[in-house]
Amino acid sequence: MKFTKMQGTGNDFILVDARKLEADWTRLAVAMCERHFGVGADGLILVLDSKVADFRMRIFNADGSEAEMCGNGLRCFAKYVIEQGLAPKDSRELTVETLAGINRVRPQVVGGSVASVQVGMGVPKLKATEIPVLAGAVDRVLDYPLIVDGREVRVTCVSMGNPHAVCFVDQSVADFPLAELGPKVEHHPIFPNRVNFEVACVLNRTQIEGRVWERGVGETLACGSGACAIAVAARLHDYVGNEIDITLPGGVLRLAWDGVGEVLLGGPAETVFEGVW
């Protein structure tokens, strides 16, 4: 089976054209994503045919669980289908079916290669029942006092097709004990489907730094939907305007949200290497 290893701001994936393949993808994701005995990645992405969009994307986390969608993964997906000749080289927009719905991706093609991709990440869901989070039937879950190991962590919850909990801090995010608290927030009983956990520090009204504990993966160098969740949460608190740059350990992502419509995510996607499993 041929595969391509790709990364978007350090969030890395194994991409496979699975349109004519069948496999136990959960088991295969665990094996291939293992960083010592496998290829090594945060997730396995499958390219599939779709009846309602140009393509369908399935993504399996490193622990074998299937995720609803992934912003960084979508950017890599768009680069893959164009550069592999599955979509026209001059594509200005592609539609991709995911478990979270249909996403529109807009590649910037330079010299036959995809230099960057902007992804329409959809309209964020803010109601507790839609995220989901067991915080009552409230319109918005803002600064909810979550108790983790006797420590209060205030989280603002957002769904970008997958659940997120964002904690804003005053100090550098590098000092936050994410490795310790991340898994405990992820598996907290208030989140019935588990949760992606982000810690963020607002530097000014156009810049934020953040780190992400990704559900089913652990800490990642970047997370597209996580960056979107940070942007939405910051906008809800009026910390930022409509456009911001979010610096994650793997690089910078450009976010735009007007407070009403869909969130736009822009950033790079790179091919690392190709191989055969």
**Are 139 and 145 within 8 A, CB to CB?**
no
Which of 54, 51, 56, 31 lies closest to 41, judged by CA? 31
- Catalytic residues, by residue number, are 70, 223
Instruction: Say whether the peptide bond before residue 132 is cis (omega within 30 degrees of 0).
Output: yes
With H, G, I as helix, E, B as strand and everything else as coil, classify residue 169: coil
b/e per residue 61-78 (b: at least 16 CB within 10 A): bbebbebbbbbbbbbbbb
Which of 146, 128, 173, 160 lies closest to 226, judged by CA? 160
What distances in angstroms separate CA 215 from CA 158, 180, 219, 275, one per listed residue?
14, 14, 9, 27
Residue 46 burial by CB count (10 A; 0-12/13-18/19+): exposed, middle or buried? buried
Distance CA 32, CA 30 (A): 6
With H, G, I as helix, E, B as strand and everything else as coil, classify residue 226: helix
